[in-house]
A and B are shown apart, each in its own frame.
Chain A
Amino acid sequence: MNLRSIPISAWVGFAGIAIALICALFAPLIAPYGESQVVGDIWLPGGGDFLLGTDNLGRDLLSRLIYGARTTIFVALAATVISFSLGMLLSFTAAVTGGFIDQLFSRFNDLMMAIPTLIFALVVLAVLPQHLWILILVMAVLDSTRVFRIGRAVALDVAVMEFVEAARLRGEGTGWIIFREILPNTLSPLLAEFGLRFAFSILFLSTLSFLGLGIQPPAADWGGMVKDNKDGIIFGINAALIPGGAIAALAICVNLVVDWLMKRTSSLKGGRGDA
């Protein structure tokens, strides 16, 4: 692939994701203060010792933002990876096997999708105990319904092609057909879908945390930080907007990359190129 063929918007996206990843990986090295260390008065304005000021408990906002990147990205990524693996496995199985299995999986998926994701999450999280892994699993399972739908559509698109039939006639097993015939032809759209699901997971996690149902304090995560500091808004204190902006920025960066991937995919397929 030609590096120069990547548009500026995608570079911006890559750069943003890289910064967030560096923050997440090296948080203790970068952050000037500890994650939940109280360093001063509450809601101090930015500048001086505290570049972005302090939060509702007097903790350094910048440090929490850096640590928050760690939690937010880790949980969102874990949820996306699980949802993707689950969704792809089930959808490819459904598409290749067809018949009863396909009907069963698809109908159940329809049922899962008949309930809006957020509402579903609220009901489930009301019932289940609050653990990080439960949160990740709930996010993953709910999101895998979307992956299933896309995965099945993409796989079916390829599975009806004659080269797959040719492989079947040759006597190839299901494993060969999925991994050698279908998967290589679906990588591009699936990569884009992965990005899309990741952006969605970041926003979904932030929303849950904002509603008080996601990551529990004192761990820092961006959605929770908005919730912590939202009461300052009416007093003209904008501490809540900073983590909110971080969420938005990361999601935009991911979407910029996805947008480029999608256009690339459609042009590979010989689409009309109405970008």
Chain B
Amino acid sequence: MPDLLTVKNLKIEATSYPPGEPPKTVTLVDGVSFSVEKGKVLGVIGESGAGKSTIGLSALAYGRGGASIVGGEVLLNGKDILTLGRGGIRSVRGCKVCYVAQSAAAAFNPAHKLGEQVIEASLRHKIMSRPEAEKRALYLFRVLGLPNPDTFGDRYPHQVSGGQLQRAMTAMALCPNPELIVFDEPTTALDVTTQIDVLAAIKHAIEETHTAALYITHDLAVVAQISDDIMVLRYGKTVEYGTTQQVIEAPAQDYTRALVSVRQTKRDEAADQSDKLLNIENVSAAYGNGFKVLHDVSMHLPKGQTLAIVGESGSGKSTLARVITGLLPPSEGRITFDGKQLPPALKGRSKDELRQVQMIYQMADTAMNPRQTVRDIIGRPITFYYGVHGAKKTERVKELLDQIELGDRFLDRYPAELSGGQKQRVAIARALAAKPELILCDEPTSALDPLVAEGILNLLLKLQEETAVSYVFITHDIAIVRAIADSVAVMHRGRLVRFGAKSKVLSPPFDDYTDLLLKSVPEMEIGWLEKVLATRRMESAGN
């Protein structure tokens, strides 16, 4: 079968103009070649900065934010679209090639109804008449499983949920009957239980319409479900390119092997769970406007162990962390720490009580003052809690830098001069500097690339062995729970659904929500999505 899209030796550069400095040119993509057959899906996978979105947009001859294609060919049906000129490129975009963005919420125009936006390209390119386009939109809404498909198009973007918007964006891309769709991380911003629905909808729609697709993501497990071929990128270059089966089951490169085996770590739970370092009893909490976000939550954590709190956005897991820290005093219930009741509000806590509980944030970027050096960032808790200054302080900072596997040369760097993983390590060191009993980790790895995240998890485990610190680990990722937790609390809509030792919580019999959550996490296994969908159909048929 002839290739629909062939990209040869693609080279993309971006030029930025820092004011007052000579323009800087960076190569984003270098010498990448691939092809997509009609009706097939190519998965493009890589870490952030690997150039995957840039490659995807090149199929529409588009450069985002100063990026421009400086070399190579992008052949669509054998014709290089880069040489087409403005009018020619316009006749490709939205007609032969369509695009689905990561954030549909931003990509839809807030001023127009969804239906109008979905059929706009079809009408403007004179692909179909208005009634035909409306009929097709309706059909696509049905295929994608959108609620009330008849009236869905009359709604405005802000009136529907994120998962629905993402499906609507897929409908918008499919509507003009394109030959190729570029999906740019379409499920990354969604919760796992929503992600599986959208993923299934996209897969179904692609099969139904025989459209080819470029599916861009950072999650190998997701791409394994949907693509025929996989291309692995790193630093703008191809690492490995082959069929899905070959890449997943017999990866040839070290980097790919690492990606495949990531998140496979599992740890046995610690046995003794009797003494309670942290005990949360019947805690409820509400925001200032009276909106109740936590309902009667109880859990506890033994010394030197890890409690994982799992849930999706809106489950109240981060709110619980705020309650533990005292930022949001609970409206009911109490928290005891080391046998003593913690004062509910931050203001009421003593310096030592504050020292015992430290926190690590999701975004290390915003969690560190950009105007302070690593020395100041890590050194401050040492001075603040222990009154240590000067050479002694520096000594201790160096010690901590060794512990987090960074070393002296980072002492006088600013956060902007560190990579994402290094920043998170410094944040961990800052927490350790206080010699706390408990560290609250609020999704510390979810903003990181998988391999870096694994490094952070291993570091946390190592530190626990060395210092016997306890962790409350807030996450949405079951794989992380398996890797690090001793006990697990599952939360949903502000309530505790399930709590207990890891082995008990993660094995049947399940309650409905835990079941859904566990089954929604993509596994690195071809055909996993079909299997899950099949069980679901069976279950619903059984009911």
Contacts and interface: CB of A to CB of B under 8 A. Distances in A.
Interface of A: 2, 4-7, 161-163, 165-166, 168-172, 180-181, 184-185, 260, 263-264, 267, 272-273, 275
A184 B18 contact: no
Contacts of B17: 273
A2 B326 CA distance: 45
Interface stretch (B139-147, B226-234, B365-373, B480-488): B365-373
Interface in B50-89: 65
A185 B358 CA distance: 24
B63 to A, nearest CB: 14
A7 B19 contact: yes
A136 B384 CA distance: 42
Nearest 3 pairs of A and B residues by beta carbon: A5-B20, A184-B371, A162-B367
A185 B20 contact: no
Chain A interface, DSSP helix/strand/loop, else mixed: helix
Interface string B376-414: 000011001000000000000000000000000000000
Given A184-B371, A273-B19, A170 B380 contact: yes
Interface of B: 16-21, 65, 325-327, 346, 349, 351, 354-355, 357-359, 361, 363, 366-371, 380-381, 384, 430, 434
B341 to A, nearest CB: 18
Given A6-B20, A171-B351, A162 B366 contact: yes
A172 B355 CA distance: 11
A61 B359 CA distance: 67
B359 A5 contact: no
A163 B19 contact: no
A6 B380 CA distance: 35
B71 to A, nearest CB: 25
B366 A163 contact: yes
B20 to A, nearest CB: 3
Given A171-B351, A171-B354, A172-B384, A5 B21 contact: yes
Contacts of B16: 273
B361 A162 contact: yes
Contacts of A163: 366-369
Nearest to B349: A171
A171 B430 CA distance: 14
Contacts of B363: 162
A185 B369 contact: yes
Contacts of A169: 325-327, 346, 354, 357-359
Which residue among A2, A161, A169, A180 has the maximum number of chain B CB atoms within 10 Å of its CB? A169
Contact of A170 (B19, B21, B65, B384): B384
Which residue among B16, B351, B366 has the maximum number of chain A CB atoms within 10 Å of its CB? B366
A54 B209 CA distance: 87
A5 B384 contact: no
B361 A166 contact: yes
A184 B414 CA distance: 14
Contacts of B19: 5, 7, 260, 263-264, 267, 273, 275
Given A5-B21, A169-B327, A263-B19, A272 B65 contact: yes
Nearest to A160: B366
Contacts of A180: 369
Given A2-B20, A165-B327, A260-B19, 6 more contacts: A2-B21, A5-B19, A168-B346, A169-B327, A267-B18, A273-B18
Nearest to B363: A162
